[in-house]
Amino acid sequence: MTTSIVAREVLVPDRVKGCCQPVAAPLSDARVDELSAIYRALGDPTRVQIVHILAAAAEPVCVCDFTAAFDLGQPTISHHLSKLRDAGIVTSTKRGVWAFYKLNAAMTSAARDAIQLID
């Protein structure tokens, strides 16, 4: 998962071979992992659609609405929701037998920016 960049002196080889340029300092492993994890969580059509529905909803959405909206089995919907929850993009609460999901109000700013393309 981490990126394992080699040491700085190799990174900027001072045009040793006539073609190479200095290159920007890499992002920190933590930042790169944070960003790629957010992108990966959104890299599935069903999850993009789920985020779209949640972004448009005034209130938390019941899981049963998702299972009705998609042509997928209930365990698959549950799987996608838990991926989004693991990525910190949504949160869930239980009311009686039902589980309701909404966008995480405490989302990282990176996640908030990332989902803003989804109208």
Partner DNA sequence: TCCTCATATCGAAGGCTGTCGATCGATGTC
Partner DNA sequence: GACATCGATCGACAGCCTTCGATATGAGGA
Q: Which residues bind DNA (CB under 7 A)?
A: 17, 19, 40, 43-44, 46, 62-64, 67, 72-83, 92, 94, 96-99
Give the residue with the Cβ less far from its own copies, 20 or 74: 20
23-82: which residues touch its own copies (CB under 8 A)?
A: 23-24, 26-27, 29, 32-33, 35-37, 39-40, 42-49, 52-53, 55-57, 59, 61-62, 64-65, 68-71
From edge to edge, which strands make up the β-sheet containing 98-103? 61-62, 98-103, 90-95
Give the span between the Cα atoms of 86 and 80, in whole angstroms.
Answer: 10
Q: Which does 79 bind (CB under 5 to 8 A by kind): its own copies, DNA, none?
A: DNA
Give the span between the Cα atoms of 49 and 66, in whole angstroms.
Answer: 10
Report the nearest approach of DNA to the CB of residue 34 (Å).
15
Cβ burial of 78 (10 Å; 0-12, 13-18, 19+) is: middle
